[in-house]
């Protein structure tokens, strides 16, 4: 490389760094010049490349703007608990008055959350909880209840007997484990419901579709496909329709993303469970404010899933 090229690169790098930091400052803090801030709140989201988390964050920021006395610092954990641990440390050293943590993993963040609380900073665990009670406040939609609601509906629709195929989230994932528990609780009462196929398709549409195609090839009778999220079930739906077996196999999912609402409306999917990302994002700001004002709050705050079927799907499109 010539000397000039190096100089140019260095200059470019410097300019780029300055630009990105300015953008970062704009995006990551709700502070505006001249405003009086009473409180500083840090929020770590698990992964801002996840559609659902992005919806939650946007609702969070929208509500945050209505509280000019609180400065919010928003960080992206990028799907890596190790990042989140570092970010927890940063927020503690920035002397936040409260930290909202949306852990990617229920185990790895526990020590950091405990550390913050012991240092006098209250912590709200958003979505995923940590694995033990270290004094955190937990706000989420219960996955166990969702699993139960979903599987009970499947069992009822099938009249208590039949073959089901299930697509689960990634092995070891918090939401998946909760939904698994909910399923178990229902299924132990119905010995005539047989799980004929069972696979982890990692929340992915492509994997849901590939896996379903492979199952369909076996020719085994399947009465229902139960997916632990919409993406996998929607992928499976495409495979089922391509095989012309949509009249044989009923499809159930969880999350209530727009694409799934459309599928329910068109009758391609029996139901999905709507997890109100916007409500959770908004409620967590209100909860934080209450705590900062010294009000008493419950240890666990549930924003329940709602069952969406063809009868009520229209209500959900605008939410």
The residue (of 22 and 242) whose beta carbon lies closer to other proteins is 242
State which of residues 4, 93, 159, 218 lies at the interface with other proteins (CB under 8 A). 218
Residue 54 binds other proteins (CB under 8 A): yes
State which of residues 32, 171, 188, 191 lies at the interface with other proteins (CB under 8 A). 171
Residue 43 binds other proteins (CB under 8 A): no
Residue 234 binds other proteins (CB under 8 A): yes
State which of residues 30, 102, 106, 211 lies at the interface with other proteins (CB under 8 A). 211
Is residue 238 exposed (0-12), middle (13-18) or buried (19+ Cβ within 10 Å)?
A: middle
Residue 286 binds other proteins (CB under 8 A): no
Residues 104-163 that bind other proteins (CB under 8 A): none
State which of residues 258, 310, 312, 314 lies at the interface with other proteins (CB under 8 A). 258
State which of residues 28, 29, 31, 50 lies at the interface with other proteins (CB under 8 A). 50
Angle at 232 between CA 218 and CA 206, to 5 degrees: 80
The residue (of 164 and 200) whose beta carbon lies closer to other proteins is 200
What number of chain residues touch other proteins (CB under 8 A)? 31
Residues 186-205 that bind other proteins (CB under 8 A): 196-200, 205
Q: Which stretch binds other proteins (CB under 8 A): 43-51, 184-192, 248-256, 286-294?
A: 43-51
CA-CA distance, 305 to 270, in Å (whole number)? Answer: 16
CA-CA distance, 229 to 256, in Å (whole number)? Answer: 9
Q: Which residues contact 230 (CB under 8 A, 6 or more apart)?
A: 253, 254, 255, 256, 257, 259, 260, 272
Residue 242 binds other proteins (CB under 8 A): yes
The residue (of 15 and 286) whose beta carbon lies closer to other proteins is 15
State which of residues 86, 210, 279, 300 lies at the interface with other proteins (CB under 8 A). 210
- Tokens 């505006």 locate to 32
Contact positions toward other proteins, by CB under 8 A?
1, 48-51, 54, 171, 196-200, 205-206, 209-211, 213-219, 234-235, 238, 242-243, 258-259
């Amino acid at each position: 490389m010539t000397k000039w090229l190096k100089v140019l690169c260095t200059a470019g790098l410097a300019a780029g760094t300055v630009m990105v930091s300015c953008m970062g400052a704009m995006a990551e803090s709700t502070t505006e010049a001249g405003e009086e801030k009473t409180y500083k709140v840090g929020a770590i989201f698990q992964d801002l490349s996840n559609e659902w988390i992005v919806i939650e964050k946007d609702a969070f920021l929208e509500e945050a703007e209505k509280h000019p006395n609180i400065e919010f610092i928003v960080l992206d954990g990028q799907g890596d608990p190790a990042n989140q641990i570092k970010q927890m440390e940063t927020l503690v050293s920035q002397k936040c008055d409260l930290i909202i943590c949306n852990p990617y993993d229920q185990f790895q963040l526990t020590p950091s959350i405990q550390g913050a609380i012991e240092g006098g900073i209250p912590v709200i665990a958003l979505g995923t909880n940590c694995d033990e009670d270290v004094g955190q406040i937990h706000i989420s939609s219960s996955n166990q209840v969702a699993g139960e609601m979903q599987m009970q509906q499947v069992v009822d629709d099938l009249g208590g007997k039949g073959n089901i195929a299930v697509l689960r989230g990634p092995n070891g994932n918090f939401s998946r484990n909760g939904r698994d528990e909910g399923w178990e609780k229902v299924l132990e009462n119905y010995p005539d419901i047989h799980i004929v196929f069972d696979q982890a398709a990692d929340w992915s549409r492509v994997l849901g579709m590939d896996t379903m195609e492979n199952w369909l090839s076996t020719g085994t009778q399947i009465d229902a496909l139960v997916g632990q999220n919409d993406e996998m079930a929607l992928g499976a739906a495409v495979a089922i329709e391509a095989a012309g077996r949509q009249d044989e196999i009923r499809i159930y999912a969880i999350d209530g993303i727009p694409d799934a609402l459309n599928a329910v409306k068109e009758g391609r999917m029996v139901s999905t469970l709507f997890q109100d990302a916007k409500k959770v994002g908004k409620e967590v700001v209100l909860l934080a404010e209450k705590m900062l004002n010294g009000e008493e709050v419950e240890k666990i705050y549930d924003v329940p899933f709602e069952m969406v079927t063809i009868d009520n799907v229209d209500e959900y499109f605008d939410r």
